[in-house]
Structure formats: C-alpha cells, structure tokens
Amino acid sequence: MIFLWAFLIGGLICALGQLLILKTNWTPARILVSFVVLGAILQVCTVFEPLKKFAGAGVTTPITGFGAGLVKGTFENIDKYGFIGIFTGGLTAMSAGIAVAIVSGLMIGMLFKSRSK
Amino acid sequence: MDKAEYAAYIKKITPKSKVWCSLLRAFIVGGLICLLGEGLNALYKMWLPNYDQTQIGALVSSTLIFLASVLTGLGVYDKIGYFAGGGSIVPITGFSNSITSAAMEFRKEGIIFGTCANMFKIAGPVIVVGTAIAMLCGLGYFIVGLFL
C-alpha cells in the first residue's frame, strides 16, 4: 500500500512544481529552493513525520525531503549534543546525498562533454 | 502592447488541455521516480537489516542522485526533463541533474575553474537556503528547549 501512496503523493508534489513553472515562470533554482523551505516548515510543524510514515519515499524523494532532513538532523543533534547541534546537525544528516552529488557530478563532468542542444 | 496585456494574450491563446497534459506528465514521471525510491527503500531494508531507517534513506537518496547523474551524462535525463517538466526538477534527481549538467557545461573552462567552481550554480541556493533555515529553526528549538 505504501507503494501506491508513494507514487500518488510524490506525483502530486511534482505536479505542484509543474503548476508553479506554468503559472509563475520561476526558474528551476527558485522552485527547488521553495520546496526545500516547504519541507523544512512541514518538519518544524511536525507534519512531515506522519506524512513520511504514510507515503514513504513519496515525500522524501522530492526535494522537500532535503529540507525536512536538514531540520530533523539539526533537532536530533541538539537533543543529543546540545548547543553545537545547531551547527552540526543539518549537514551531517544530509552529508551522504551532498557528497554523492558532488563526486558523481565531478566524475560525470570529467567523463562527458556537454552536448549542444 | 504592455506587459499585462501580453500576459493576458498569452493566457488566452494557451490551450487549457496543454496545462492539464503537462501536469499529468509531471505527476506520472515524478510519481514513478518516488516509486523507484520506495522500491529501493524496500530492497535495501531487506539486504541491510542492521541499518536504521535514516541510513537506508540516505542510501536511497544517494542511489537516486548517482543514477540521475549518470543519466544526465548520457543525455537521457534532459529528454525525461523535456517530457516531464516539474516531474524531473522537484525530486532529488533534479537536484543531482542541476549539479551534473553545470559540471559538464563548464568543463570547457577547465576542471578546477570550470567544473569545480560552477557545479553548484543552480543547486547552491538549495544548500545555502536549506542550511540557513535549518540553523535558524535549530536556534529557535534550542532556545525554546532552555525554558521547557
């Protein structure tokens, strides 16, 4: 059942992004940033965790999951380590994704040339 | 014709069905990417029973990021993006695509000053804003915690 909800909820979030592109002509960077902020807000309002239980990758795969993960990691590290957690939590939680994105971007950038469109 | 009139004109001549069609395409492709994420999640859970959900989640995102990066290199992701619009931008794969395509685009300016310096041209704001907002929320959470 979680597969169905992952598809439906994930699809809806992406359709919302498409709606923003059509109606506001925002750039992709701006859309990504808005969804990260949305995810962070949902996490702070404690709405994100129940959504995650319900739809799994449907909410964590869209970039909203990145914002929520940053906030979640920050809060967890504050609970564990106190004050220093404010600075260490967010990027620690998201480190795998960022590291893989950097290294694979570098690798592919070195291997392939940009094709002309 | 001023800007507002032009916008109204564009709105008038853009067929409505096209809007619904592109929303549907974004929905399907975005949904499928999330479904793939959920599938990987189930697979990793089976293979790595002593990983907790946070680690499994990190592994799933990393896989999707790597896949999207390779597909971008092969020129496949751009084709998916042309078809799906927001469906390929909003998932974490879109974040990866923006990094890899910038890395490829600036390769001609050299590896260090081209690729390395420009990789985060589009994805940079995401990390900057995300980190800033997480820190701000964390500060609030810490201060509230002091009084509870």
A66/B130 touch (CB, cutoff 8 Å), yes or no:
yes
Chain A neighbours among B 65-124 (CB < 8 Å)? 65-66, 69-70, 72-75, 78, 84-87, 89-96, 98-108, 111, 115-116, 119, 122-123
Per the structure, how many domains does chain A have?
A: 1
Residue at A117 is within a domain: no
Give this prediction's pTM.
0.89
Residue at B61 is within a domain: yes
Element (H, E) at A104: helix A85-111
Q: What is the DSSP letter of B91?
A: B
Q: Which residues of A touch B129 (CB under 8 A)?
A: 33, 36-37
Q: For residue A44, what is the nearest residue in chain B, using CA coordinates?
A: B137
Residue at A71 is within a domain: yes
| Dihedrals phi, psi of B7, to nearest 5 degrees | -60, -40
pLDDT at res. A115: 61
Helices A2-24 and A48-55, packing angle to 10 deg: 120
Residue at A84 is within a domain: yes
C-alpha of B35 from chain center: 15
Other beta carbons within 10 angstroms of residue A14's beta carbon come to 33
Mention every residue, 6+ apart, whose C-beta is less than 8 A from residue A105.
B69, B96, B99, B100, B102, B103, B115, B119
From first to last of its 148 residues, what are the pLDDT tens digits of chain B?
678 888 788 777 766 667 888 899 999 999 999 999 999 999 999 999 999 988 999 999 999 999 999 999 998 999 998 888 888 999 999 999 999 999 999 888 888 888 899 999 989 999 999 999 999 999 999 999 898 7
Residue at A70 is within a domain: yes
pLDDT at res. B14: 67
Q: Which residues of B touch A86 (CB under 8 A)?
A: 135, 138-139, 142
* Separation of first and last alpha carbons in chain A: 41
Q: Which residues of B64-78 are buried (b: 16+ CB within 10 A; e: fewer)?
A: bbbbbbbbbbeeebb
Q: How far from A68 is each of A56, A89, A100, B7, B113, CA to CA, in Å?
A: 13, 12, 19, 35, 32
Residue at A116 is within a domain: no
Name which of A59, A54, A53 is nearest A10 in CA terms: A59
Residue at B145 is within a domain: no
Domain membership of residue A24 as a residue range? 2-111
**Residues in chain A with pLDDT values less than 50:** 117
Domain membership of residue B92 as a residue range? 13-123
Residue at B107 is within a domain: yes
d(CA B86, CA A49): 24
Per the structure, how many domains does chain B have?
A: 1
Chain B neighbours among A 78-107 (CB < 8 Å)? 78, 82-83, 85-87, 89-91, 93-98, 100-102, 104-107
Residue at B45 is within a domain: yes
